Amino acid sequence: MASISFRYILLLILLAPLSVHLADRVRVLSLAYYNAPGRMPQHANFSSYDVKFRHEIRSCEDVLLLESRRVALLACDAGRETWNTVMGFFPAGLGVDANAELYAYHYDEPDANALKRIDIVGLDSELRTIGFDFDEASGTLLVTNHPHQGGPSIEQFRLDLDTLTATHVRTISHPLINIPNSIAMRGPTQFFVTNNHRFTPARNRLLWFLETYLAPPLATVVHVSVLPSGELDVAVVAHQAYPNGAALFSNKSTVAVSSTNQRLVYIYALEEETGSSASVHPKLRLQNTIRDLPFLPDNLAVTEDDALLMAGHPHLPSLEPFCQSRYICNRPEILAQRGDEAAKMCQETRAASWASEWTADGGLRHIYAGWDYGTSASVVRRREHGVGIVAGLYEKGILVWRD
């Protein structure tokens, strides 16, 4: 009898972590029910909004706000419709699209003059963007790149905001920067990079699928230090499940990293070592966790008053067919070949967006949630200027709100 009781207790001890993990997976997947069309809450906590530049730009995953110049920088890649290394969409037989582009949106100017393309000079390779960051003091712009050939990298540019010219400086690559997604710069020579997965869908789709849906902490956050010689000193500073967006708070000693497939955001304190043998890489100590977000968080940003902005995807069953259909719906030559059924599909397929802000004192506040503008991947805001922007992973244009 005692032996049976011991085995029973041992079984419970072994099963307890599994049951907790399964409960967590159910909590994440429950968004498919609670945020289904007709059931998802709607939010629009601003005075007015408009979707701008639908015919000029699309698939602008990341956006940065330069408050001093009243400018938003955008990284837009229509080629994501045929080459998405994060979500694993690779429609066959379509070739390689034109390079991704960078834009400056002057949000206080009339729309006719507000959007300007940034000239990219000296880059001789393919450019497929995901995330980027900019150190305004030095003019250093870092852009993640996932080309068809050669493996992922980070492209370094010198960005002149007066002439809107980005001059390529060099390509940064390292074995620890294996699937770069988001960049958070501490200055021109130090930055964090999230690697969103351990496995890629292009190399091993089964392991990538299991990693995405089972959420083991196999992916990494790395810290990069550029030495005076120009060499890289790179170290893993955290392991996470699906680390996606990253953003530094104004003190530069706290960093937030979203975990997309865990429906939460981690906030880490950066602890610097001292002494002659100190590492150039800070240690990350978990300080706070923002749990039970009503969406799967993508990119992060921090406002001038240290509110954490986050945008993401509230309904995965709608997101995937929307993303997979854009190479048909956004390309007239392909849509014309698919007939009336495809045209109807393009009219009916929608995706949702959700953007929120969080503060330690006030908690979570929702800014926008709805189906009018889909696939939200980034949100930025300047409260003093009464303006905010949501950028969609696969949407046409950008959503601009006013207060």
Is residue 45 a contact partner of residue 368, using CB atoms and an 8 Å limit? yes
195 among the known binding-site residues? no
Consult the annotation and say whether 299 binds a ligand: yes
Instruction: Indicate the residue type of 168.
Output: H
What is Dmax (Cα atoms) for the chain?
Answer: 82
Residue 181 annotated as lining a ligand binding site? yes
Is 244 annotated in a binding site? The answer is: yes
Check the annotation: does 45 bind a ligand. Answer: no
Q: Is 298 annotated as a binding residue?
A: yes
Binding site: residue ranges? 62, 130, 181, 244, 298-299
Binding site for Ca(2+): residue ranges? 62, 130, 181, 244, 298-299
